[in-house]
Amino acid sequence: MTSEIELTFIGTGNAFAPTRYWSSFLLNSRYLFDAPPTLLPHLKKLGKDPRDIDVVFISHFHGDHYFGLPFLLLEYAELAPRARDLTIVGPPGIAKRVQNTTDLAFSNVFRKDRGYHLDFIEAKDGKGGEAAGITWTARRVEHVSNLESYAYRVEVDSRSLAYSGDTVMCPPLVPLADGADVFVVECSCWGEQCGPHLNPRNIMELREKISPQTKFVLTHIGGGEAPPMIHDAGILIADDLQTLHF
């Protein structure tokens, strides 16, 4: 029997979205992709136990993608002690960045007696690994010049998922997603000028180049309505607090 992919969207908006919360999602309740400031209250609103998260993948160090980690770590320190190991995968400097940010917010969180092992892994282009039942590979993508940004492809229970993170159109995206069961991909506006992000024309180009069996789900969305070509291509647009099954 083929296992199911369950995606629960903590939020689906970009940093400026007028009606959506910042983008993040859970895979099978155990694997978190990006950690926005709204992470903790939305997990609780969804009825998700924060202690069920075993691995966190951070795409890059913009605040809407990782400022939720201090609150998550505070939860473990004060209200919901955990015993299982926690792995955080992210760009180079992930351990120092998370500890410094957390120390600024809550100075008591990084203590020696936390009760669980916290493991940081630095992503590099083409680097892979395994943690808590998930196999992952990182690809460096192009977003802004002063930050390293990463997309991820993961496999769990014989199913595969690709996540673009924040990016412009760049060579790694097609091999990253081709043949995956699901591709969660950013589309930061419905026009042509999206800044250092993907636009609908880019999404359609990716749809043409990536295998038909790969389901596209758009996130990191701004305001307005998607152009008809997105719906006509069978591309899904995620909503805040929505759960999708594949």
Q: For residues 123 and 92, is the Cβ–Cβ distance under 8 A?
A: yes
How many angstroms separate the Cα of 171 from the Cα of each of 26, 76, 125? 26, 39, 12
Kindly state the helix (H) or strand (E) to which residue 72 belongs, with its residue range.
helix 69-78
**Catalytic site residue from 34, 52, 54, 64:** 64
Structure tokens at 133: 């039942």
Structure tokens at 7: 């995606």
To the query of whether residue 64 is one of the catalytic residues in this protein, the response is yes
Q: Give the strands of the sheet with 86-90, arranged side by side.
A: 118-122, 86-90, 55-57, 31-33, 24-27, 6-11, 243-245
> Distance (Å, rounded) from C-alpha 36 to C-alpha 34?
6
Active site residues: 64
